[in-house]
């Protein structure tokens, strides 16, 4: 019989696939002898079976009974017993943390009888009725799918009727009446009574948690975080401990280091006389751990010891949930904590310096995307600003946008291209869509462990929480602070590093990490001065990125078309140019020269047009080779179809027709008529699969010859100037070895001619851009001619999937993602099973034919972290990406070298 239930004593932290992160870590803490309430975990396998069959395994009920009886025997109490009731919590727990996305039900086992037993146990009527109303509220919303606002409104009405500011101010008789009102809501909205049998409550709660795996917000979160829908969640049943038993009780969340900045110290939130969900929900502003120490020095001291022990055991920042029940500390959860980009680098470097992890491990714990976030601009400290208020800095960054007060508005305005900041009293899981759409999140309630803070940090979104001075009116769609009113649509700015909130726009400046990447460590530290936090960050980035450079085997080149691009690429650590797109050199003022080439009526006119282009192209290439002196510069011959260099057919047709109607004449009109005929000749139904790339060079004599001669002359000029140029010629869109032969033979002839004319010797390799499936599948033959391959994964993805990128991404990619056709766009991260397999085949068979064949990639995937790990595994020599992504590629190439399969980046 399959085992679906594991006692905490049977698990460990290595069983996250089976027990989920929460269950595995509860088991680990139990094994460490920490004060964990007893309980058991229902496996993720159970959830997967439920999702597949629609029913829970028949053995599950029996196994839950056995585990529950063991729990009852250990504690000497029975679930829902009227005299001395055992109560349990039912919590979700997937392999990867999904904060607030799935369901929790507390106080399961309470009913009309056991509430009196709980009151006797606690010696507190108010506590018992408060716990019962919490159960009905959670159960009604989570299990019975009743609108949670109905319960919240009833609670608010009760507080108003009794003059209570917080729910903790409500007396026992008011809570008793509220329980009756909540049961009426359940009866009215669900058509059934609130279940009184404790086991029925438990079974329904378990099923509800499994169902919460597939809620819209959970699916949305998984899509964003690239978590598989097939993993499922575990369910943890844990004996209740109570933080709402009075002033000597409470609940909290803490971190062993600051998850926002990475600075050392103890960080967290504590709420006296509260249950855990109150902290996460952010409905009451929390106390600091320093305040907790003053309230309960003994429990705080024990917590400090546990925090140190867990960080040492996990060798990482730990996120810990705890409850104090009448002075007794209980550990409810721990996990490796989510952190901001800055914190990730600082903490990794700190742990290396403390000899807790190695540099290889530090490199595994940061990601290229985190580095990219550190390169974002920051607010200009010298700018004039209007400070509205100050909150808690929850997730760093500089965000400027229109204030919006609902998730729906945030999504609607963002879809229109507007930058928005979502403003709420507190966020809840239903706000996820709006949080994703917003450039920043601002709340007036909550602390650093509230829903808004945790989710925003995980997404890398700028966030400020707990700005108590803000009076947020979501119904009127405005906030008020010190007499200033900010209405929906007004621009505000938030600083997630300082917690400052500004009225109006605030200018931004470059990040210190960008200064470091461009100018080096020493110069940047001089600029920073005594700012310890920034110095530590830059030094951490330097240490880890330097180690990545030492560890990686992949070269990192740039896609660059101008000397300025090349200069920036080199300053950011680029080791060459992997793609120079020459077609960009024919735009602007030079477009007329291409028109002359197309309109040429004889060989002399065509040669004249080519002669006019030659010196311009030569100087283009001289500039690139000068900036990249000593490094390879791969120049792709002209690739796009000619229509991209010609006027729009419709616009030109209208222009010619109007001129004819008006009886206009003259050289310009005659030229337009000729040009229209040429445009019509070159029109294609599907130009991206038509006359372009190598086909263009074969069909239009002299075009490729012009470019190859310009490249050779530029190489010679740089050699004569004392330089060390390394130009390479790349043939685009080749699918046949004969296409390569035709161009390569012409290249060999031209290169020899130029070398003789200039009186210098040089070698310029000629290679192929592999961007068609046929080229990949015949790579063994193509390598007989090509001296290198560069995979053009943009076009290779289009031609493998049969997608026209410009058409499909906006047309149906959202639906494809929602339906699971792919979890991420294949243009964003390489499709390893399809496109990747073609790359793998071409790399293997190409090198079998030519062992010294150099292999690179120059599509946008060259800067994508996940794709870089794949290219490392396949054995490519280099990746090429946009200059700004070079540091990210360097880091990820290093991570790929020290990890197996790329590691876990979540």
> Which of 593-602, 812-821, 888-897 is least confident?
593-602
**Known catalytic membership, residue 451:** yes
Is there a contact between 496 and 463 (Cβ–Cβ < 8 Å)?
Answer: yes
Cα 857 to Cα 550: distance, rounded to the nearest angstrom: 21
Check residue 217 and give its pLDDT.
Answer: 87
Tens of pLDDT along 471-480?
999 999 999 9
Residue 112 binned pLDDT confidence (cut-offs 50, 70, 90): very high
More confident residue, 826 or 281: 826
Catalytic-residue membership of 858: yes
Using the structure block, give the residue that is written with the tokens 């240490």: 543
The DSSP code for 287 is: B
Quote the pLDDT of residue 810: 65
Q: Please say if the pLDDT value at position 252 is more than 90.
A: yes
- Answer yes or no: is pLDDT of 828 > 60: yes
| Number of residues written out for the chain | 906
CA–CA separation, 620 and 762 (whole Å): 19
* pLDDT higher than 70, residue 900: no
The predicted pLDDT at position 714 comes to 97
726's CB contacts (< 8 A; 6+ apart) are 576, 625, 628, 630, 631, 632, 633
449 pLDDT above the threshold of 70: no
Residue percentage of the chain with pLDDT more than 90: 68
Q: What is the pLDDT of residue 905?
A: 31
- pLDDT band of residue 901 (cuts 50, 70, 90) is very low
Interval 11-21 mean pLDDT: 96
Higher pLDDT, 708 or 454: 708
Check whether 904 has a pLDDT greater than 70.
no
> What does the pLDDT look like over 194-217, one tens digit per residue?
999 999 999 999 999 999 999 988
Mean per-residue pLDDT of the chain: 91
**Per-residue pLDDT reduced to its tens digit, 753-783:** 999 999 999 999 999 999 999 999 999 999 9
Residue 401: pLDDT band by 50, 70, 90 thresholds?
very high
Choice between 416 and 646, residue whose per-residue pLDDT is larger: 416
Q: Give residue-wise pLDDT tens across range 331-363.
A: 999 999 989 899 999 999 999 999 999 999 999
Q: In whole angstroms, give the CA distance from residue 213 to residue 232.
A: 7
For 684-737, the pLDDT digits (tens) are: 777 778 888 999 899 888 889 999 999 999 999 999 999 999 999 999 999 999
d(CA 854, CA 72): 67
Contact 112, 198 (CB under 8 A): no
Segment 79-91 shows an average pLDDT of 94
Cβ(736)–Cβ(638) below 8 Å:
no
Task: Please give the Cα distance from 546 to 542 (Å, whole number).
Answer: 6
Give the integer Cα–Cα distance in Å for 533 and 85.
51
Catalytic member of 451, 547, 567, 869: 451
What pLDDT, in 10s, does the model give residues 320-332?
999 999 999 999 9
Q: Which of 54-68, 301-315, 431-445, 622-636 has the lowest mean pLDDT?
A: 431-445
Does residue 441 surpass a pLDDT of 90?
yes
Integer Cα distance of 696 and 699 in angstroms: 5
pLDDT of residue 588: 65
Number of Cβ within 10 Å of residue 168's Cβ equals 17
Which segment of 57-66, 214-223, 273-282, 831-840 scores lowest on mean pLDDT? 273-282
């Amino acid at each position: 019989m399959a085992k679906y239930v594991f006692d905490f004593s049977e698990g460990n932290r290595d069983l996250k696939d089976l027990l989920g992160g929460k269950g595995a870590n509860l088991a680990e803490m139990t094994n460490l002898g920490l004060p964990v309430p007893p309980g058991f975990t229902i496996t993720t396998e159970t959830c997967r079976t439920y999702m597949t069959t629609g029913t829970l395994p028949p053995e599950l009920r029996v196994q839950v009974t056995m585990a529950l009886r063991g729990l009852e025997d250990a504690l000497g109490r029975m679930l829902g017993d009227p005299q001395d009731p055992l109560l349990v919590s039912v919590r979700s727990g997937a392999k990867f943390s999904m904060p607030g996305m799935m369901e929790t039900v507390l106080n399961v086992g309470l009913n009309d009888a056991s509430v009196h037993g709980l009151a006797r146990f606690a010696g507190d009527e108010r506590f018992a009725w408060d716990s019962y109303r919490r159960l009905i509220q959670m159960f009604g919303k989570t299990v019975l799918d009743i609108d949670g606002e109905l319960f919240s409104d009833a609670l608010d009405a009760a507080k108003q009727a009794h003059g209570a500011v917080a729910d903790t101010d409500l007396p026992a008789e008011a809570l008793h009446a509220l329980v009756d009102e909540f049961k009426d809501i359940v009866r009215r909205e669900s058509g059934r009574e609130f279940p009184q049998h404790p086991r029925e409550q438990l079974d329904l709660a378990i099923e509800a948690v499994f169902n919460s795996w597939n809620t819209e917000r959970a699916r949305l979160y998984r899509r964003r975080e690239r978590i598989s829908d097939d993993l499922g969640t575990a369910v943890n049943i844990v004996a209740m401990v109570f933080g709402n038993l009075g002033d000597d009780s409470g609940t909290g969340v803490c971190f062993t280091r600051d998850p926002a900045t990475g600075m050392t110290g103890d960080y967290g939130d504590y709420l006296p006389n509260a249950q855990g969900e109150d902290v996460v929900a952010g409905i009451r502003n929390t106390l600091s751990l320093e305040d907790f120490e003053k309230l309960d020095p003994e429990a705080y001291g024990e917590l400090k010891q546990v925090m140190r022990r867990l960080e040492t055991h996990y060798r990482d920042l730990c996120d810990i949930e705890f409850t104090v029940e009448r002075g007794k500390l209980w550990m409810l959860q721990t996990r490796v904590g989510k952190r901001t980009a800055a914190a990730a680098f600082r903490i990794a470097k700190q742990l290396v310096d403390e000899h807790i992890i190695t540099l290889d491990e530090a490199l595994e714990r940061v990601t290229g995307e985190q580095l990219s976030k550190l390169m974002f601009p920051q607010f200009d400290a010298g700018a004039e600003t209007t400070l509205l208020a100050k909150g808690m800095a929850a997730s760093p960054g500089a965000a400027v946008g229109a204030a919006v007060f609902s998730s729906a508005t945030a999504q609607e305005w963002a879809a229109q291209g507007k930058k928005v900041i979502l403003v709420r009293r507190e966020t809840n899981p239903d706000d996820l869509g709006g949080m994703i759409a917003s450039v920043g999140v601002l709340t007036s309630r909550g602390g650093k462990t509230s829903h808004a803070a945790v989710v925003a940090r995980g997404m890398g979104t700028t966030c400020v929480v707990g700005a108590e001075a803000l009076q947020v009116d979501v119904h009127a769609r405005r906030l008020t602070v010190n007499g200033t009113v900010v209405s929906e649509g007004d621009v505000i700015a938030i600083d997630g590093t300082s917690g400052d909130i500004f009225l109006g726009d605030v200018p931004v400046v470059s990040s210190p990490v960008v200064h470091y990447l461009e100018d080096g460590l020493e110069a940047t530290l001089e600029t920073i001065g005594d700012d310890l936090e920034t110095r530590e960050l830059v030094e951490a980035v330097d240490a880890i990125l330097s180690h990545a450079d030492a560890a990686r085997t992949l070269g990192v080149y740039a896609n660059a078309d101008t000397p300025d691009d090349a200069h920036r690429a080199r300053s950011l650590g680029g080791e060459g140019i992997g793609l120079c797109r020459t077609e960009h050199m024919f735009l602007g003022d030079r477009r007329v020269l291409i028109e002359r080439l197309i309109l040429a009526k004889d060989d002399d006119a065509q040669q004249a047009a080519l002669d006019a282009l030659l010196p311009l192209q030569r100087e283009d290439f001289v500039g690139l080779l000068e900036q990249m002196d000593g490094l390879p510069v791969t120049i792709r011959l002209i690739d796009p179809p000619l229509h991209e260099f010609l006027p729009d057919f419709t616009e030109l047709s209208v222009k010619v027709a109007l001129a004819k109607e008006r009886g206009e004449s003259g050289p310009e009109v005659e030229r337009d008529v000729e040009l229209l005929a040429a445009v019509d000749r070159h029109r294609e139904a599907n130009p991206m699969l038509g006359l372009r790339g190598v086909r263009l060079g074969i069909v239009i004599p002299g075009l490729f010859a012009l470019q190859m001669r310009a490249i050779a002359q530029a190489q010679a000029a740089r050699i004569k100037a004392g330089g060390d140029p390394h130009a390479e010629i790349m043939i685009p869109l080749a699918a046949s070895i004969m296409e390569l032969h035709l161009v390569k033979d012409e290249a060999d002839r031209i290169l020899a001619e130029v070398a003789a004319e200039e009186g210098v010797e040089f070698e310029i390799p000629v290679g192929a851009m592999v961007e068609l499936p046929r080229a990949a599948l015949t790579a063994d033959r193509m390598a007989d001619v090509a001296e290198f391959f560069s995979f053009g994964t943009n076009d290779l993805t289009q031609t493998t999937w049969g997608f026209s990128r410009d058409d499909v991404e906006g047309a149906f990619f959202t639906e494809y993602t929602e339906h699971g056709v792919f979890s991420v766009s294949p243009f964003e991260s390489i499709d390893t099973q399809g496109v990747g397999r073609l790359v793998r085949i071409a790399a293997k068979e190409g090198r079998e034919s030519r062992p010294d064949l150099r292999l690179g990639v120059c599509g946008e995937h060259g800067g994508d972290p996940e794709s870089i790990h794949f290219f490392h595994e396949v054995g490519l020599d280099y990746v090429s990406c946009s200059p700004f992504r070079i540091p990210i590629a360097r880091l990820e190439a290093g991570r790929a070298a020290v990890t197996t399969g790329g590691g876990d980046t979540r």
